[in-house]
Amino acid sequence: MRTKVCIIGGGPSGLLLSQLLQLNGIDNVLLEKHSREHVLARIRAGVLEHGFARLMDEAQCGERMQREGQVHHGFFIAHDGRLDRVDLHKYSGGGSVIVYGQTELTRDLYEARDRMGGIVIHEASDVQLHDLAGDRPSVTFRKSGADERVECEFVIGADGFHGVSRKSIPAGVLREYEKVYPFGWLGVLSRTPPVSPELIYVKHERGFALCSLRSPTLSRYYIQVPLSDRVEDWSDDAFWDELKRRLPPEVAARLITGASIEKSIAPLRSFVAEPMQYGRLFLAGDAAHIVPPTGARGLNSAASDIYYLSRALIAYYKTGDESGLRGYSERALSRIWKAQRFSWWMTKLLHRFPDNGDYDQRLQQAELAYLFSSERALGSLAENYVGLPY
């Protein structure tokens, strides 16, 4: 098989890029390790920037997001016996976010690829990248027991943190920066009305909690748990009991519980690989960088990579201009590091760190007291949460 761009990974990054390239007449083939059902069973992000929505519109798959996504102008932080609201609209100069699940967004992207007759190959196993440093890279894989090869001009590694692309770059080329946190998030999705129309982030002495939602009838809740916990250790009842203990009493009193539809534990990690390019391989999204979910930056950072990368590839194929491709890594990383900073800050602000002593806990309280006493501090939080410009 011969194509211009071979995209590895059928998550939001790969699908969005595939769609944008085809709309601009650039042939591409997308390889995904799992089945479509498997990809669509993952429950992940819920909070999206308007920049993401604009990119979905440009990719001609933003219609349902515009219709069903909920625009949120603020969220709450419960801390130290208080429930304070962050007015995103006021403090970011008119900004807001969209609450729309990654699962739905991925479904919209798959449907758009179907409509356009895009080549998306699922259950591609043993994907291997070849000749990345030359002009004619290729990708081999196995599908239904047969060996296949894609010959291409560029390879895009959009295969997430555990993918093969980043690992195919020779040793010594990348510099990797990593911070692993001593806890994870246990998440539950339930068909129950959300406890609050706006998200509530909770700092509590028993640990962090988050009340989020997908729709007026679908709720998403998280609690901080030790890394040693396994999801099997947590019955639904145990989850609801622990969540209630961490919520302000008036919120806990109106929480409606129900059977979990999905329950999983995600470890928290900050990670960046630099540069995001090696020869004809370009990395995008979680393949190159990870943030803890506290600031809702992960998928939004993937979208800004795809914005820069799609423009660079379109310019190259339309006019031969290589400057966008040459500058991709630097441009993407400049925004990525700001998202890293913000996610780390919000994680540190709201979680219970097992090694923190009394002094660190008092500092956390002071940081929150300062935040809600300073319009400038709230402005900084709000502009980062709605998304820095790109």
Closer of 102 and 138 to ligand RFL (Cβ): 102
Q: Out of ligand PHB, ligand RFL, none, which partner does residue 78 contact, by CB within 5 to 8 A per kind?
A: none
Residue from 28, 165, 192, 294 binding ligand PHB (CB under 6 A): 294
Residue 300 binds to ligand PHB (criterion: CB under 6 A):
no
Smallest distance, Å, CB 191 to ligand RFL?
Answer: 18
Residues 6+ apart with CB under 8 A from 160: 9, 11, 285, 286, 287
Q: Out of ligand RFL, ligand PHB, none, which partner does residue 12 contact, by CB within 5 to 8 A per kind?
A: ligand RFL
Per-residue binder mask for ligand RFL (CB under 6 A), 280-309, x = binder? -----xx------x--xxxxx-x-------
- Identity of the amino acid at 319: T
Smallest distance, Å, CB 297 to ligand PHB?
Answer: 8
For residue 57, what are its two tokens?
A: 């519109």
Closer of 165 and 364 to ligand RFL (Cβ): 165
How far the first Cα of the chain sits from its last, in Å, is 35
The number of residues that bind ligand RFL (CB under 6 A) is 36
Residue 387 binds to ligand RFL (criterion: CB under 6 A):
no
Smallest distance, Å, CB 345 to ligand PHB?
Answer: 13
Residue from 47, 48, 156, 290 binding ligand PHB (CB under 6 A): 47
Please give the residues from 68 up to 107 whose contact with ligand RFL meets the rule CB under 6 A.
102
Residue from 46, 62, 101, 387 binding ligand RFL (CB under 6 A): 46
Residue from 34, 36, 89, 348 binding ligand RFL (CB under 6 A): 34
Residue 69 binds to ligand PHB (criterion: CB under 6 A):
no
Smallest distance, Å, CB 208 to ligand RFL?
Answer: 13
Per-residue binder mask for ligand PHB (CB under 6 A), 210-249, x = binder? --x-------x-----------------------------
Distance CA 127, CA 157 (A): 11
Please give the residues from 118 up to 177 whose contact with ligand RFL meets the rule CB under 6 A.
124, 127, 158-160, 163-164
Segment near ligand PHB (CB under 6 A); pick from 104-112, 269-277, 293-301, 314-322:
293-301
Q: Binding residues for ligand PHB, per CB under 6 A?
A: 45-47, 199, 212, 220, 293-294, 296
